[in-house]
Structure 1
Amino acid sequence: MHVVVEPTGQHRRSSLIALGVAALLSACATPAPTTAPESVQASVTKPLTPPAIVASPAPVVSSAEETALRQLVSLQDRLDRVAGPLLVNNPALCKRNARRLLGFTAKTKYSYSTEFIPAAQKLLNLDERLRVTGVLAGSGADKVGVLRGDSLIAVNNKVLPQGANAERQAASLLAPMVTARGNVKLTVLRENRQIVLDVPLTMACAFRIELGNTDAVNAYSDGYRVLVTRGMLAYVKSDKELAYVLAREMAHNALSHPIRLRSSATIAGVIDNLIRINPDLGMVNGTAGIKPYSQEIDAAADVTGLFMAARAGYDIDGASTFWQGLASQYPVAALNGYTALHPATAYRIAALDKATSDLHAKEAMQKPLLP
């Protein structure tokens, strides 16, 4: 079971987190239906006795806070939904970043910055206990029927922590379990019943997928995370186009480009800033100190990203048109835009066109889709 845990209180928690040992699919999402599929292999057992949760008064939430949280939830949900197939279907291309994951994300109300805790409690029904907020399609958790809205009680009969540090403490508890096992026994609370699910771990790319709170049309990867800005989400016209962006940044990580170019720390600082509810946009003026990628490195990410998208089931035939259109609308002169960091458009398009032909040839001959 992969648990994704970061410090609470300062940053908005986000998606598909993977801290080396464990990763929950982190999605800011509204609770889902609480009926499991018929195929779920679950059992009701003698209840464990986790610490009781003391009911607190209904929080007062302003309409502005409610609207802002709903928008964050919606955008992050889209990111996670599109990223899911890319993560699950590409461990062979993620190389050192592939990990065994449980395939879901859990949050408490403290997973949000202080100003959003009341809204998270009211709108998302979050409290002191870790609650599933997203399930990765095709993962072990999905197959055995883990549902959004399930409260996490225990794993392998060890009661999970509650409160402000629950995510971090749960990660420490789960780390040795996922290293040594192929599955875990998860106890959840659903409709006032404790249900035990035997969850197989899923090999996947262990990249965290983040939402950047800026209208600049950009995306970043620091070797471990992928961030897509609010502006880029507004620009892409379909999930397919969003998959192109995500896959390409995942490819930079898989190929260790930020680390090899010694830009990982600089990009990590940009991502840390942009995942804040109110980022310092002055820190990301221009290229934010990030050196533009060379044409050879960018083309390598284009090709690997294209194969990642195809392996995930996305239509790749529009990739060249998409990147050409983005470069035309946001050229190199737009210093806080994507093309400023990836300026070799003509070289990249040529590499993409060749890779598209090669990929279709491999599909026709039923060969493995590997670059």
Structure 2
Amino acid sequence: MKRCIAALAAVLLSGCATPVTEGPEVSIDARNEETRRQQEYVLAVRSEETARLLRIAEHVKAANVELCHRRALSIGAHFESIYDYAGQMRAAAKAVHGVSGKPQVTWLDERGPAAKAGLRMGDQLLAVNGSRVASGPKAGKSARGLLAAALHGSQNLQIQRGDQVFTFDIVGRQVCGYPFFIADSDDVNAFADGDRVVFMRGMMRFVKNDDELALIVGHELAHNVMGHIDKSKQNALWGALGGALIDIALAAGGINTGGDIAEAGAQAGALAHSPEFESEADYVGLYFAARAGYDVERSEEFWRRRAVDNPSSIRKTTTHPTSVKRFLTLAATRREIAERKEAGQPLLPRLKKDSPL
């Protein structure tokens, strides 16, 4: 049977149209060399994007830690080993970052505790507070776990730099306890899930400057700080309970809904107040960016540019407010922030009595 299928495929393919020009031949060596170059280029660009996001997120999280109920200790450095990269990208990682089997500094906040203590890019981590970092495929995870385990006070890091070994006592700083990541997607989007924040690469390319990126960082951080994800889950639960009561009542009358109304109620509940949550994240998030020292002037222009990609958002409210409302809300918030600065008042959003802040 397989031979018959192969023969039939060969006959069909023999009738396909073919190119009519003779282009230049490309050698295997040339293809391999360009493969290497492109992998290194991809990694270098993505590393720059990640470093940019981590730097701005670190500043926003540190500036607003007093408003966060979930906190973490940060030294402003990230450690990776070659095993943190996919197999086909490890050679590029070694070429771009010089990584090896030992975890080393691949990102450093120039204003953070680690940089101030003297750590440098490329420094290899040997031990944290006397605990040796694991070697091999678990090296990076081991390093990050040991650093995360220290919640207070000073951390003693044993570092190898070239042929020399140093020790550094680094006093970490408290930041909002929500890590930031980048996902491989061209979508101009970012989301918070209550525990972390994820940016799509499309968003990283869309924002014009660091001030605009800080606006989106503040918005997503606000979702987590304000408990919007938990509130949506609570609303979904209430919607499901209401729908279940209707399912039960209909079942008593001989109508079997199969739980469809409970499911619909859960979906409706999850979406309840979603536009309001987004507006609140816009409002609080702009304060977060301003408190971190970023320029929020003309921040609302972001939503005019977004309307170009999604013109229906100008008039249509979905899970998010219209781009018109978001533009006007940010403009009003920006003016409110400017007035507070001029009056010498604390940069704090106006809160209701039941605010999680």
Q: TM-score, normalised by structure 1?
A: 0.69
CA deviation profile, 1:61-84 (whole Å, cap 9, x unmatched): 723322222222122122223323
1:139 offset after TM fit, Å?
2.3
Does the alignment pair 1:74 with 2:52? Answer: no
Query: Following TM superposition, by how much is the alpha carbon of 1:125 offset from its aligned partner in structure 2, in angstroms?
Result: 0.8
* Cα distance in structure 1, aligned partners of 2:97 and 2:72: 29
Counting only pairs closer than 5 Å after superposition, residues 248-287 of structure 1 correspond to structure 2 as: 248-262=219-233
**What's the counterpart of residue 171 of structure 2?**
200
Could you say which structure has the higher helix fraction? 2
Superimposed CA distance per residue, residues 87-132 of structure 1 (whole angstroms, 9 cap, x where no aligned partner): 2211123x22322222210000011122212221232111111101
Q: Aligned letter for 1:306?
A: L
Of the candidates 178, 201, 211, which is equivalent to residue 230 of structure 1? 201
Q: 1:341 to 1:208 in 2, by over 3 A?
A: farther
**Secondary structure, in 3 states, of the residue corresponding to 2:57?**
helix
Q: Is the 8 A contact 1:332 1:340 kept in 2?
A: no
> What amino acid sits opposite 1:245 in the alignment?
I
For 1:347 and 1:80, the matched residues in 2 are separated by 29
Q: Contact between 2:189 and 2:199, CA under 8 Å: does it hold in 1?
A: yes
Q: Distance in 2 between matches of 1:131 and 1:201?
A: 18
Match of 2:119 among 129, 146, 167: 146
Mapped to 2, the partners of 1:191 and 1:354 lie a distance apart of: 54
Q: State the AA in 2 paired with 1:74.
A: E
Paired residue for 1:316, among 287, 291, 296? 296
2:275, 2:318 within 8 Å by CA — same for their partners in 1? no
Residue 321 (structure 1) shift: 1.8
Matched, 1:299 2:272: no
Rounded Cα–Cα distance in structure 1 between residues aligned with 2:61 and 2:333:
21
TM-score, normalised to structure 2's length?
0.71
Letter of the structure 2 residue corresponding to residue 98 of structure 1? R
Q: 2:91 & 2:312 partners in 1: Cα distance? A: 42
User: Residues 327 and 80 of structure 1: is their aligned pair in 2 closer, same or farther, counting only changes over 3 Å?
Assistant: same
Separation in 1 of the partners of 2:44 and 2:271?
35
SS in 2 for 1:197: strand
The one-letter amino acid of 2:298's match is G
1:339-350 superposed matches below 5 A: 341-350=319-328
Q: Once structures 1 and 2 are overlaid, which stretch shifts more, 242-251 or 343-352?
A: 343-352
- 2:50 alignment partner AA: Q
> Compared with structure 1, are the counterparts of its residues 295 and 333 closer, same or farther at alpha carbon in structure 2 (3 Å cutoff)?
closer
Higher relative contact order (CA 8 A, sep 6+): 1
Match of 1:65 among 31, 34, 39: 39
Q: 1:83 aligns with which of 50, 57, 67?
A: 57
Q: SS where residue 136 of structure 2 aligns?
A: coil
State the distance in 1 between where 2:272 and 2:143 align.
Answer: 38
Asked if structure 2 preserves the Cα contact closer than 8 Å seen for 1:107 and 1:132, the reply is yes
Paired with 1:126 and 1:206, the residues of 2 have a C-alpha distance of: 27
Aligned counterpart, 1:136: 109
The answer to whether structure 1 residue 184 and structure 2 residue 155 are counterparts is yes
Structure 1 position 369 matched with structure 2 position 347: yes
Report the CA distance between 1:243 and its aligned residue. 1.4
Contact 1:221–1:253 (8 Å) recurs in 2 = yes
**Equivalent residue number for residue 46 of structure 1:** none
- Structure 2 unaligned regions, length at least 5: 1-32, 235-269, 350-357
In the alignment, does 2:225 pair up with 1:247?
no
Distance 1:81 1:170 in 2: 20
Higher-Rg member (1/2) = 2
CA offsets 1:213-266 (integer angstroms, 9 cap, x no match): 122211111112222222222222212111111211111111121232139xxx
CA distance in 2, matches of 1:143, 1:292: 46
Do the aligned partners of residues 134 and 341 (structure 1) sit closer, same or farther apart at CA in structure 2, a change above 3 Å counting? Answer: farther
Give the 3 Å change call, closer, same or farther, for CA 166–348 of structure 1 in structure 2. Answer: same
C-alpha displacement at 1:151, in angstroms?
Answer: 0.5
The 1:293/1:73 distance shift into structure 2, 3 A limit, reads: farther
* RMSD after superposition: 2.5
Amino acid at match of 1:321: E
Structure 1 counterpart of 2:335, from 345, 353, 357: 357
Identity %, equivalent residues: 30
What secondary structure does 1:259 align onto?
A: helix
Matched to 2:215, the amino acid is Y
2:92 to 119, 122, 133: 119
DSSP 3-state at the match of 2:98: coil
Equivalent pair of 1:221/1:227 in contact (CA under 8 Å)? yes
Unaligned 5+ residue runs, structure 1? 1-59, 264-289
Q: Alignment partner of 2:135: what SS?
A: coil
In structure 2, C-alpha distance between the alignment counterparts of 1:171 and 1:165, rounded to whole Å: 10
Match of 1:38 in 2: none
Q: Is the 8 A contact 1:223 1:253 kept in 2?
A: yes
